[in-house]
Each structure stands twice: as structure tokens, then as C-alpha cells.
């Protein structure tokens, strides 16, 4: 929302050269003429309903949105979308296979990546192949929990304090209530934040193999209902989420708090493999890494990395994760070191990978097919998916940093984005 004088002036000139101020202001003024009729909302998805929605918009179904496959599979979208008119087709490529030696992931994984950005799959592919050639990356799921932070307003900090005392005493009851709403989630801990007469509780849940956002919302709501009925202190306002959880937002607390799956991956790349796969040396890689780490710091990012968002978004889309979670997941630390033996040590650490292998969009047909391609659909696979995700990003960082360190970056984009 900010611009220097020269930029502001340039922008104003570009506007005012074509129109005078008065006509611009007329444009900007709310129009009291009746708006176009709202689309009649409906949440069920079926072939018939989709057709009806197009009709409601006064249009014939567009064959690139409502293609045969989508039409035939419309009911599979039920529960994942409202006002459905079809589907968007995101190109899907495969990189790898990537060898992952993890606590949960074991073996060589194909990496399905959905994107429309040229060069992305190619870049992750060469990174993954290089890692595999080096014996695979080691990946470790460090923690797992999803939080939700209901907020409570009181008349005074005195009441806020009394509430905290009561809440601490009632924690076992909160657990009972929360755990009664779900077979897979468990309320495992709670933090308290007192800000004047406001209190935020920060509930932490394990969520089984689901990403778990709905699960923790429903469980937290149940606890809030219990609090409303039982708390001896008068609560002026109560909200199931006070925006302290970091939900769908990059937040600094991700490093010290818990949101999704924390995972770290590392690999040792011998100099000769580096040379063969990405035409560079460990020293060139660490030189660039150091400079880019400081660049990231100076720009005010959280953590230091190159392009976590690219691989994350592509894998999240391919496997039916919530694409909006890219906003919170795409933070972390990439670290490159030149070893005493002249090889390259590389690691990535991600504080908040929001993935699941059940629920959400994972059961949609094409997303499920992608997970199955990896062998990671369904219960028991979320830990492995998080570890593969870290390995994928490690490969991406290796590839892009090599590209930037050697000047290949522009060449690749010039060639592949025709």
C-alpha cells in the first residue's frame, strides 16, 4: 500500500492521463442500481445440479469447465465444493523417483506435481534424481499437532486471571469433551495467552492421518460450549478462534509453536554427483546460499529459503491438500554447508507442513490417484507424506540454488516457458 513519491506520481499520471478525477470518482462510487441476481446457492453436487447452476447463470456449460469426466464424476465432488459448475484442470507432471529414508517414508517415491509454471517439474526432477543418486535423503517427522485458539473477553484482567485458574483445573474435562467429538483427534496440550482482559487458549491436537482443520474446529467448539455452560466466571465474548492459531497465514510462532507436521530432511551430496547433475561445485552452492540467506533476512521473510512455495503448492494440489495452507506452510530454513571432505551438506526444515492422507480433498478421484501413485493414500501414511514433502523441497532447493549459482536459472525459464 506504499509507494515513494516518484512511483506514486507515475501511477497517478497513468490514471489521470486517460480520465479526469471526476469521472474516476464516479466509477468508484457505490452503485445503487439493483445488482445482478445472486446465484442461488446450493451445496449438493450432482450432474443435474451443475447443469442447473449454469442455467441459473444464463449460460451454456463451458466444455472446458464441464467436460465429460467432470460431469460423470460430479457426485464425487459433493462435500468439497458449493455452487459447482465443473472443474479446473491443472497440468500434472511427475518428478523423481525420490529416495527417502525416513521414520515413516521408506523407498523410492514418484512425485506428482500439479502446476502451470514452466520449468517447475523439470527443476524438482533434477533435484530429486540427484538426491536419489546420493543414496536418498534422510527425513524426520519431528512433531505433529494442529492448534486452534479460542478467545475469551472479560470485564477485567482479574476475571481473566480467574478464568485461567479455572481452565487449568478443568483441562482433563476439556480433553474428555474434545476427544468425544472425534475418533482420530486428541487434545494433547493447551497454552494460555493473557492480554489485558482478553484470554486466548491455544489447544493442541493430534489429528491422526488427517490434516485436521475441521476436526480441531469441531472439537474446540465442543470445549467452548462446555466452557460457556460451566465456567463460573462471566465471559463477555467467546469465539472459537481468536486468530492466534496461525491458520492459513505465515506466522513467526510456527517455529516455537505447533501447526501441522514439523519435518526436517538432509542429504550429503558428493562433489562429483553435484557436478554431474547440476554442473556446479559445493563451494559455489554454499557461496550463493550464504548470500541468499542474508537477502531473505533483509527482505523480512520468516526463516530463510529459496522457493518452498513452488514444490509445496504443486504437491498440495496434486494430492488434494488445502492449497490455501501454502500460505502457512511455505516457511522454514534451508541450510547448505561445505563439508571438510569438500562435499555438500544440505538440509531443509519446515515447521508447519499441513498435510493429510485422509479427508479433505484427498478422496477426490484425481487427487486420490496421485496419492496412490505414491503409495500414500489413506490411513497410516500422513507421516510418510510429510517426510516425502520435505525431501521434495530439499530437491527443489538444490536444483534452484544450483541454477542461480551457475546462471542456468534464466536459461531454463527462457527455454521451458515458451
Coil, strand or helix at 252: helix
CA angle centred on 236, ends 230 and 241, rounded to 5°: 80
Interface with a second copy, residue 184, by CB under 8 A: no
Interface with a second copy, residue 281, by CB under 8 A: no
Q: Is 279 a catalytic residue?
A: no
Interface with a second copy, residue 192, by CB under 8 A: yes
Q: What whole-number distance in Å separates Cα of residue 170 and Cα of residue 48? A: 50
By CB under 8 A, the residues from 158 to 177 that bind a second copy are 158, 161-162, 164-165, 168, 171
Interface with a second copy, residue 60, by CB under 8 A: no
Interface with a second copy, residue 88, by CB under 8 A: yes
Alpha carbons within 13 angstroms on the beta-carbon side of residue 119 total: 14
Q: Which of 127, 185, 282, 320 binds a second copy (CB under 8 A)?
A: 320
CA angle centred on 331, ends 361 and 151, rounded to 5°: 75
- Which positions from 122 to 141 touch a second copy by CB under 8 A, shown as an x/- string? x--xx--x--xxxxxxx-x-
Are 211 and 356 in contact by the 8 Å Cβ rule? The answer is yes
Q: What whole-number distance in Å separates Cα of residue 177 and Cα of residue 187? A: 9
What is the closest distance, in whole angstroms, from the C-beta atom of residue 64 to a second copy in the complex?
4
Nearest to 331 by CA among 244, 257, 241: 257
Q: Which of 57, 231, 235, 271 binds a second copy (CB under 8 A)?
A: 57
Are 107 and 136 in contact by the 8 Å Cβ rule? The answer is no
Name 78's Cβ contacts closer than 8 Å, sequence gap at least 6: 44, 45, 46
Q: Is 341 a catalytic residue?
A: no
Interface with a second copy, residue 335, by CB under 8 A: yes
Binding-site size, a second copy (CB under 8 A)? 219
Residue with cell 511427475: 94
Catalytic choice (117, 189, 266, 337):
117
Q: How many residues does the chain have?
A: 418
Interface with a second copy, residue 11, by CB under 8 A: yes
Is the CB of 282 or the CB of 361 nearer to a second copy?
Answer: 361
Interface with a second copy, residue 200, by CB under 8 A: yes
What is the closest distance, in whole angstroms, from the C-beta atom of residue 228 to a second copy in the complex?
10
Interface with a second copy, residue 27, by CB under 8 A: yes
Active site residues: 117, 322, 413
Amino acid at each position: 500500500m506504499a509507494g515513494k513519491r516518484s512511483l506514486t506520481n507515475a501511477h497517478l499520471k497513468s490514471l489521470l492521463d486517460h480520465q479526469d478525477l471526476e469521472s474516476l470518482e464516479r466509477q468508484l462510487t457505490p452503485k445503487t442500481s439493483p445488482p445482478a441476481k445472486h446465484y442461488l446457492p446450493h451445496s449438493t453436487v450432482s450432474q443435474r445440479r451443475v447443469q442447473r447452476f449454469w442455467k441459473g447463470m444464463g449460460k451454456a456449460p463451458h466444455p472446458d469447465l464441464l467436460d465429460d469426466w467432470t460431469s460423470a464424476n460430479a457426485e464425487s465432488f459433493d462435500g468439497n465444493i458449493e455452487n459447482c459448475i465443473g472443474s479446473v484442470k491443472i497440468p500434472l507432471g511427475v518428478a523423481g523417483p525420490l529416495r527417502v529414508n525416513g521414520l515413516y517414508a521408506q523407498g523410492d517415491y514418484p512425485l506428482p506435481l500439479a502446476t502451470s509454471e514452466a520449468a517447475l517439474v523439470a527443476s524438482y526432477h533434477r533435484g530429486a534424481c540427484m538426491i536419489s543418486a546420493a543414496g536418498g535423503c534422510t527425513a524426520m517427522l519431528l512433531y505433529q499437532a494442529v492448534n486452534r485458539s479460542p478467545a475469551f473477553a472479560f470485564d477485567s484482567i482479574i476475571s481473566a486471571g480467574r478464568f485461567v485458574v479455572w481452565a487449568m483445573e478443568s483441562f482433563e474435562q476439556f480433553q474428555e469433551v474434545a476427544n468425544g467429538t472425534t475418533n482420530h483427534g486428541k487434545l494433547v496440550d493447551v497454552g494460555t495467552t493473557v492480554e489485558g482482559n482478553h484470554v486466548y487458549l491455544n489447544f493442541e491436537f493430534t489429528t491422526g492421518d488427517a490434516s485436521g482443520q475441521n476436526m480441531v474446529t469441531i472439537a474446540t467448539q465442543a470445549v467452548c460450549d462446555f466452557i460457556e455452560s460451566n465456567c463460573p466466571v462471566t465471559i463477555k465474548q467467546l469465539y472459537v478462534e481468536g486468530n492466534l492459531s496461525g491458520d492459513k497465514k505465515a506466522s513467526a510462532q510456527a517455529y516455537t509453536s505447533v501447526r501441522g507436521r514439523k519435518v526436517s530432511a538432509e542429504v550429503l551430496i558428493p562433489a562429483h554427483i553435484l557436478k554431474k547433475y547440476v554442473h556446479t561445485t559445493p563451494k559455489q552452492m554454499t557461496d550463493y546460499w550464504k548470500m541468499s540467506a542474508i537477502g531473505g533476512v533483509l527482505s523480512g521473510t520468516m526463516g530463510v529459503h529459496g522457493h518452498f512455495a513452488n514444490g509445496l503448492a504443486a504437491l498440495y494440489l496434486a494430492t488434494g491438500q488445502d492449497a490455501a495452507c501454502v500460505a502457512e506452510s511455505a516457511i522454514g530454513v534451508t541450510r547448505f554447508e561445505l563439508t571438510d571432505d569438500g562435499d555438500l551438506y544440505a538440509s531443509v526444515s519446515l515447521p508447519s507442513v499441513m498435510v493429510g492422507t485422509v479427508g479433505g480433498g484427498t478422496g477426490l478421484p484425481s487427487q486420490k490417484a496421485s496419492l496412490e501413485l505414491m503409495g500414500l493414500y489413506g490411513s497410516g501414511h500422513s507421516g510418510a507424506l510429510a517426510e516425502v514433502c520435505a525431501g521434495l523441497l530439499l530437491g527443489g532447493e538444490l536444483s534452484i540454488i544450483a541454477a542461480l549459482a551457475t546462471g542456468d536459472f534464466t536459461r531454463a525459464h527462457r527455454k521451458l516457458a515458451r
